Amino acid sequence: MKYVSDLIVDVLRGLKIEYVALNPGATFRGIQDSIVNYGGNSMPELIECCHEEVAVAIAHGYAKAKGRPMACILHNIVGLLHGTMAIFNAWCDNAPLIVLGGTGPMDVEKRRPWIDWVHTALVQGNIVRDYTKWDDQPTSVIGAVESLVRAYEVAMTDPKGPVYVCFDVELQESELKEEVDLRPYINKSAPIPPQAEEGALSKVAELLVNAEMPVILADFLGRNKEAVKDLVELAELVSCPVIDLWSRMNFPNTHPLDLGDKSILADADVILALDVKDLYGSITRTERHARQIESIVKDDTKIVQMGLFNVYIRSLVTDYQRYQPTYMTVTCDTSVTLPRLNAMIKSLQGAGRSISREVRSDRFERIKSMHFKERERWREALKREWDKRPLSLPRLAYEIWEVIRSEDWTIGAGAIGTRPGWERRLWDIVRPDQYFGHSWGGGLGYCMPAAIGVALAMRGTGKLVIDLQPDGDLLYTASAIWTAAHHRIPILVVMINNRLYYNDWMHSYEVARMRERPVENARIGNELDNPPPDFATLARSFGCTGIGPIDDPEELRTILRGAVNLVKSDGRLVLVDVLTQPR
């Protein structure tokens, strides 16, 4: 006998969904049984979690690392509500994941007293509709198949994002009356990405080759790994700086045309924004405490925006800030458009319809000088803060780098300090698979489970996955450590532990300062001390290795080297708790 939930597993397997993360719940017991007993817990395999937010964030990290969805299942209303923060993070971060749910029975004659009533919504997708790309609640066998396939396509169509499909309990557990031929649904090519109109692209090429100081902003371009090399070629053809906004790794930070300092925007006569979600925020300067904003660019600067975010925005949250007028907006997929743009630029330069090679060469040397001066300033900051105790963030970044630089490594999540952090300043980050970006939603609890998702995607490759883990963030989803231990997911966790909700402390401090009140009281309500959380013991309590807290800078490198060796040899999570300066 075969059941509809078995068919759902067949579809997931046909879509090559490797893993399904879940915290168990009665409304998807049919699907859970089918994964384990019908599917043999292989393609997909269950990843057990202690909280729905952990399950969604693991799928979030996996999707960014793998470039395709992982699934998670959330139990009716209560599980969905628990997972909403993580779904919102994935929405803001354009991560493709398939969120499945269970509900009902929708037939009121078959509901158990009380529990089935308070856990059934009409329609359950309303809870997350404002921050998912699409949701559905199919009521038939074929409807379930089509809904899953459509969900996959919608999630994977740029701009990518989470989708939600909810299955009625009775539908899941009903007997499958006849076999369904899945070949028409799953043996098909991916949607063709949209390309830029020829005339518009030609105009962009002419602007770039004749600009006095063109500047490129790149944000989500690196989600398509091949686009990174095309961006490098574009920058070198035009001899212009690239400012990587680091929602993904878009441009090698060792390249002489890489700049972190946005002050170059003041000189720009042409700005090309590639897959930049928040254009306004990217070209303005903010005094965060007084909330005063000013533009960095000149009034006559020609801004060209290329990407797909105009087809993605919703009115619930304006993570794109204020409307920014542009000279041109080109709706396209940059991964297929950049090679064409580069070809046009080569043709214009070959025909002599651009500024001279000498001008481009001089500009290259100017940007190269700025690049190396910037890196030298960061190294000088490292020297100034070398001996601080607890460790300064530059010293922490340097010590980690000295240990992992010869490894095949990736940052699963987190940053050492305010993004872009000190790892971006002191490490050599040259490949898209070395950094997958932060969470745009800004919800605490993201880093640990997202890094575990990245490590799950990398499992078996020999890659060392590192979680640069803030202390306050971990306390939201600490049970994710158990998931890593239970499923033997290897990961190095380095705690950035200042025993403080530092961002909120800064706000409290600034308000007290402006009001001429005691600034020392800013710690009240913001500190993670008295008693301090013992993160090393927490890791050990979940069956992992925990080391620390460490406050001696001279010990750190040896301890980190031992931790790396343990992750590689034991194949488990190792947590190193490091006490750090607040900034």
Q: How far apart are CA 525 and CA 505, in angstroms?
A: 8
Confidence tier at 320 by pLDDT (50, 70, 90)? confident
pLDDT(31) > 90: yes
* pLDDT score, position 166: 97
* pLDDT score, position 269: 96
- Give the sign of the dihedral formed by CA 476, CA 56, CA 465, CA 18: positive
Listed range (111-120, 244-253, 508-517) with the worst mean pLDDT: 111-120
Stretch 521-529: mean pLDDT? 93
Q: At what angle do helices 4-14 and 141-156 cross, to 10 degrees?
A: 30
Cis bond upstream, residue 123 (ω within 30): yes
Q: What is the pLDDT of residues 90-105, one digit of tens each?
A: 999 999 999 999 998 8
Confidence tier at 109 by pLDDT (50, 70, 90)? confident
Residue 313, Ramachandran bin (φ over 0: left; ψ between -120 and 50: alpha; else beta): beta
- Read off the DSSP letter of residue 65: H
Stretch 250-254: mean pLDDT? 97
Confidence tier at 120 by pLDDT (50, 70, 90)? confident
**Token pair 């969905």 is at which residue?**
80
In the chain, where the domains are located: 4-186, 198-372, 385-579
Listed range (49-58, 190-199, 344-353, 572-581) with the worst mean pLDDT: 190-199
Q: What is the pLDDT of residues 339-349, one digit of tens each?
A: 999 999 999 99
Q: And the tokens for 387?
A: 């001996």
Grouping H, G, I as helix, E, B as strand and the rest as coil, residue 514 is helix
Stretch 537-548: mean pLDDT? 97
CATH number of 198-372: 3.40.50.1220
Beta carbons of 83 and 52 less than 8 angstroms apart: yes
Stretch 121-132: mean pLDDT? 92
pLDDT(188) > 90: no
pLDDT(374) > 80: yes
Same fold, 4-186 and 198-372: yes
- Name the nearest CA neighbour of 483 among 11, 1, 19: 19
What is the layout of strands, in order, in the sheet containing 545-550?
409-414, 464-470, 491-497, 573-579, 545-550
The answer, as to whether pTM is greater than 0.85, is yes
Stretch 360-377: mean pLDDT? 96
- Read off the DSSP letter of residue 574: E
* pLDDT score, position 134: 96
Q: Which superfamily does 385-579 belong to?
A: Thiamin diphosphate (ThDP)-binding fold, Pyr/PP domains (3.40.50.970)
Average confidence score pLDDT of the chain: 94
Tell me which of 419 and 73 has the higher pLDDT: 73
pLDDT(248) > 90: yes
pLDDT(403) > 90: yes
Beta carbons of 100 and 167 less than 8 angstroms apart: yes
Beta carbons of 34 and 42 less than 8 angstroms apart: no
* pLDDT score, position 286: 78
Residue 446: Cβ-neighbour burial (10 angstroms; 0-12, 13-18, 19+) = buried
Confidence tier at 186 by pLDDT (50, 70, 90)? confident
pLDDT(18) > 80: yes
Q: What percent of the chain lies above the pLDDT cut of 90? A: 86
Beta carbons of 193 and 307 less than 8 angstroms apart: no
pLDDT(49) > 70: yes
The one-letter amino acid at 219: D
* pLDDT score, position 544: 97
Confidence tier at 519 by pLDDT (50, 70, 90)? very high
Q: What is the pLDDT of residues 221-238, one digit of tens each?
A: 999 999 999 999 999 999
pLDDT(288) > 70: no
Confidence tier at 491 by pLDDT (50, 70, 90)? very high
Confidence tier at 438 by pLDDT (50, 70, 90)? confident
Stretch 274-282: mean pLDDT? 93
- Give the sign of the dihedral formed by CA 462, CA 468, CA 474, CA 476: negative
Q: What is the pLDDT of residues 440-463, one digit of tens each?
A: 778 899 999 999 999 999 999 999
pLDDT(291) > 80: no
> Which CATH number fits the domain 4-186, given the four candidates 3.40.50.2300, 3.10.290.10, 3.40.50.970, 3.40.640.10?
3.40.50.970
- Name the nearest CA neighbour of 573 among 462, 474, 450, 482: 482
Stretch 114-119: mean pLDDT? 86
pLDDT(201) > 80: yes
* pLDDT score, position 443: 85
pLDDT(470) > 80: yes
